[in-house]
Amino acid sequence: MHLAYPTIVAALLFSVGVYGVLARRNAILVLMSVELMLNAVNLNLVTFDIWYRDRLHGGQVLTLFTIVIAAAEIGLGLAIVLLVYRNRRMVDVDRLRALAEDSTRPAALEAGPQPEPGGEKAGAVEEAAP
C-alpha cells in the first residue's frame, strides 16, 4: 500500500480536530475534537510501525498506550466539565472568562448567576478553557 493514503487521512483528521477545538463553544464538543486529533496521531503511529516493519512493534504498542491515556483524559476532562457546570450552570468555553486579563467581560456579565472568583473554581475554569 502506498504510504500517502493513511498519512493524508491522518493529516485531514488532525486539521478537522484543530477546527473543532478552535471553533466550538461547548466544552464537550471541544473534548470530542481533541479525541479526533488523538485518533489522527494513532493512525500515523500504526502506519509508520508497519512501514518500518518494527520488530518490537513500538508504534502499535504506543497506539494502545495512547488509547488508554485518551480514556483517562476523557474521564478527568468530563469530571472537570461537570464541576464547571455545577458551579456555573453552563459549559461554554468562551464565556468562562474569570482568568482573562481585561476587565470588560460583556458575555460573562450577561450570564445569569454571577460566580464569585474563588481559587478552586478558577482552577477548574483554567482546565476547561482551550
Partner 1 sequence: MSGPEVVFTLLGVVAVGSAILVVTTRNLVHAALWLVVSFGALAGGYLVLTAEFVAWVQVLIYVGAVVVLLLFGIMLTRAPIGESTDLDSGNRWAAAAVAVATAAVLVTVMVMGFRDERMPLRDGGGSAEELGAAVFRTWVLPFEVLSVLLLASLIGAIVLSRSDIRARPESEARQGTRPDEEGGG
- Per-residue burial over 44-68, b if 16 or more Cβ lie within 10 Å, else e, is bbbbebeeeeeeeeebeeebeebee
Nearer to partner 1, 47 or 98 (CB): 47
For residues 14 and 64, give the distance between their C-alpha atoms in angstroms, rounded to a whole number. Answer: 19
Return the SS3 of 130: coil
User: What grid cell was written down for 84?
Assistant: 464547571
Shortest gap between Cβ of 128 and partner 1 (angstroms)?
12
State residue 26 phi and psi, 5-degree precision: -75, 135
Nearer to partner 1, 7 or 98 (CB): 7
* Binding stretches for partner 1 (CB under 8 A): 1-9, 11-20, 22-26, 28-29, 31-33, 35-36, 39, 42-43, 46-47, 49-51, 53, 56-58, 60-61, 63-65, 67-76, 78-83, 85-86, 91-94
Nearer to partner 1, 56 or 101 (CB): 56
Shortest gap between Cβ of 67 and partner 1 (angstroms)?
5
Shortest gap between Cβ of 38 and partner 1 (angstroms)?
9
Shortest gap between Cβ of 103 and partner 1 (angstroms)?
20
For residues 100 and 89, give the distance between their C-alpha atoms in angstroms, rounded to a whole number. Answer: 19
